[in-house]
Structure 1
Amino acid sequence: MAAAAFGLWREQRLARADTSRKGRLDLPVAGLVQLLNSQDRFCTTSSCAGRVLLVQTPPAAADSSGYEVQKKNCVWLMVTHHMCTKEEVMTALQKATGDAIFKFEPFVLHVLCRELQDAQLLHSAAINSGFRNSGITVGRRGKIMMAVRSTHCLEVPLSQMGKLMVTEEYVDFLVQIANRKMEENLKRIDRFYSCLQLALKTQHGSSSSLCETVKTCSTHSCRSKRKPDKACDVIASPDSNSFCETVQTYSVYVRRRKRNTDNVHGVNTSPDDDEDSESEDDPEINLNIFEEIY
């Protein structure tokens, strides 16, 4: 992307008012967003720290063709960016007159990047922090967007036309699940922030410095798990001086190759063997892009 074009887009974006319902950044990601926007090669365009919410959707209506379509207007009966209680959910359900759905939505962040290698750096930090559904898109006008995402979601219908369809005990069960997901979500945000701080300390555009950043972030990610990935031991090895060699042993790529190898030999691995099943959801296109660049 041309530096002049990126600078203009960045200036216009940062000058815009916050149009979210809340009107300000979520506290758990405020430091992260400020860190990124303090760098002249990044510009955040949207973010959410993660939330637990109860949303009411209006009844579906049939269109002219006879198919049912969902109306766009939804009502938030409850929303919090922290853990919630069963009592909060039950109180909110009393206000429901339509179909109420209980949701947990994890952290999401979109960052406009000046160069593709800047987006790569963010992608590496995100992947190693647990956000394994993250990816990079390049628009027709050359805009490079890095999206930090995960599949750590929850969505369960609770009521229909204002009538509660589940027991209060089940609501309590769902709240516990959502709270555990929120706790893990906040831990991943902290890991991402720490890994990003390390990455931004390196010299921009230096293969050796970026190599060390990937090593550090990968090692940090492994130490946070009960079952370390063998690939991280290779990445952290001081003998891996070549940037290309390091990326080839990068844990994301090793996992992908390992699954392919298992399929060739007729070995079916259970999802339970992987502590974080989200690695199965990595977009193949992201891996292809990175293999070509490296």
Structure 2
Amino acid sequence: MPSTFERKKNSIVAQLQVPDIQYSDLSPKGTLDVDIRPLIHNVNSKEGLVTTSSCAGRISVFLEGKRKNDSPVIGENIVTSDEAFRDLSNKSGGTSVGGKGRGGRWLYVSHDPIPLPSGDIGGVPGFTELFGLSTSGREFPHSEDTRYVHFKFEPMILHVLTASLEHAQTVLTAASQAGFRESGAVNITSNPDGETTPMVAVRSMGLAFDSIIGCLHNSTDRVPETIFSLVGEPYLRSLVEIGNMRFRENAHRIERFAKALDIIHPPGVMAKPGEREWEDTDTRRERKRAEGLRKRLALQEARRQSPSANGSGSEYGATVPYSLENPIPHEASL
């Protein structure tokens, strides 16, 4: 097992073992999603795999950041937990269309289906209020600088660090079978130490959707900054219903992925009890070659000691003893 992978996995697993009351990460929620905990523990129980970031799926309402800014962006963009969904800033210092960027912020985030009011909704806050929008606005002129409010559903995303290309392939195969067809891997070449530790992203864009539901009216001397809704309450309810349906399908895919991964890569080490531990392709090839030579040597020895080996007409009578100086060619293997 690559030493680099071992160190990273030990560190990550140790962090995940911290009690919930003490655990914190850089995501808006600051904790692991409850619905994805079993999957994370299952993946981390397998030899050669460890999760590095995750989100079980979410409905979010967020305000875009400013797209133009003369100030340079300092530092790096780090993806942790459900920050994996963040739209990264472009090199000009602003954000791309729809990006979170400077001044962007979440107005609402839920990692579970949103309850729908039933019957008379009098006195029950509507989705406009729930999402932090105002209905007292009028139409506003739109420009390249207009900052919009997005309603989004984003399905599960899971990043898995793997110990080899073979381990990465097991994750990708399970992901494809479960419906996460946009999954992929990076870091598939060896590092300077000769180790290959691919990072696999398990994801699906087929369930995702994005709808603009509001915009920001910048503050002036007379009017404070206000976020106005561009759609009515029935439309927001329809979006919520669609998001809730996507949550259910997302849960089914997560379950299918976990089952497929267990079949392809059972919990624990890849080798069965009593067998050797994981080995890379070159090591396995050399081991198989050595095992084949030993078997052929044993077969040659058994033939030489059999009674028929001394018969003048035996087809084995002229058998040449095996030696390292006179190896058996591949064409003669049984």
Instruction: Give unpaired runs (5+ residues) of structure 2.
Output: 16-22, 72-91, 96-100, 117-124, 138-146, 217-226, 273-334
Any residues of structure 2 matched to 1:174-193 within 5 Å, and which? 174-193=239-258
Counterparts of 1:59 and 1:121, CA distance in 2: 41
Counterparts of 2:62 and 2:233, CA distance in 1: 18
Displacement of 1:178 after TM fit? 1.2
Aligned-partner residue type, residue 262 of structure 2: Q
2:213 aligned with 1:148, yes or no?
no
Partner of 1:272 in structure 2? none
Q: Is contact 1:125–1:195 with CA below 8 Å preserved after alignment?
A: yes
| CA gap 1:88/1:14 in 2 versus in 1, 3 angstroms | farther
Instruction: Give unpaired runs (5+ residues) of structure 1.
Output: 207-294
Counterparts of 1:196 and 1:24, CA distance in 2: 25
Counterparts of 1:59 and 1:9, CA distance in 2: 36
Partner of 2:8 in structure 1? 9
Any residues of structure 2 matched to 1:218-257 within 5 Å, and which? none
Aligned-partner residue type, residue 12 of structure 1: S
Partner of 1:159 in structure 2? 214
Any residues of structure 2 matched to 1:81-120 within 5 Å, and which? 81-85=111-115, 89-95=127-133, 99-120=148-169
Cα deviation 1:243-270 (Å, max 9, x = unaligned): xxxxxxxxxxxxxxxxxxxxxxxxxxxx
Q: Which SS does the other structure have where 2:236 is aligned? A: helix
Give TM-score scaled by structure 1 length: 0.61
Q: Which SS does the other structure have where 1:55 is aligned? A: strand
Aligned-partner residue type, residue 93 of structure 1: F
Displacement of 1:83 after TM fit? 1.0
Q: Which SS does the other structure have where 1:101 is aligned? A: strand
2:265 aligned with 1:204, yes or no?
no
Counterparts of 2:93 and 2:149, CA distance in 1: 18
Q: Which SS does the other structure have where 1:163 is aligned? A: strand
User: How big is the alpha-carbon RMSD for the aligned residues of Structure 1 and Structure 2?
Assistant: 2.8
Partner of 2:234 in structure 1? 169
Aligned-partner residue type, residue 150 of structure 1: S
68, 72, 91: which one aligns with 2:102: 72
Partner of 2:20 in structure 1? none
Q: Which SS does the other structure have where 2:47 is aligned? A: coil
Aligned-partner residue type, residue 113 of structure 1: T
Counterparts of 2:179 and 2:265, CA distance in 1: 19
Counterparts of 2:182 and 2:199, CA distance in 1: 14
Aligned-partner residue type, residue 49 of structure 1: A
Counterparts of 1:93 and 1:6, CA distance in 2: 42
Cα deviation 1:165-202 (Å, max 9, x = unaligned): 11222112211211111111111001111112222339
Partner of 2:63 in structure 1? 56
2:150 aligned with 1:125, yes or no?
no
Aligned-partner residue type, residue 35 of structure 1: N
Aligned-partner residue type, residue 33 of structure 2: D
Q: Which SS does the other structure have where 1:69 is aligned? A: coil
Cα deviation 1:183-231 (Å, max 9, x = unaligned): 111110011111122223398379xxxxxxxxxxxxxxxxxxxxxxxxx
| CA gap 1:163/1:33 in 2 versus in 1, 3 angstroms | same
Displacement of 1:57 after TM fit? 2.5
Relative to total residues, which structure has the larger helix share, 1 or 2?
1
Displacement of 1:107 after TM fit? 0.2
Counterparts of 1:85 and 1:69, CA distance in 2: 36
Displacement of 1:85 after TM fit? 4.3
Counterparts of 1:104 and 1:160, CA distance in 2: 19
Matched residues, percent identical? 31
Counterparts of 1:41 and 1:93, CA distance in 2: 42
Counterparts of 1:135 and 1:7, CA distance in 2: 22
Displacement of 1:54 after TM fit? 0.9
| CA gap 1:69/1:80 in 2 versus in 1, 3 angstroms | same
Question: Which structure has the bigger radius of gyration?
Answer: 2
Q: How many residues align?
A: 203
Displacement of 1:77 after TM fit? 1.5
Q: Is contact 1:54–1:78 with CA below 8 Å preserved after alignment?
A: yes
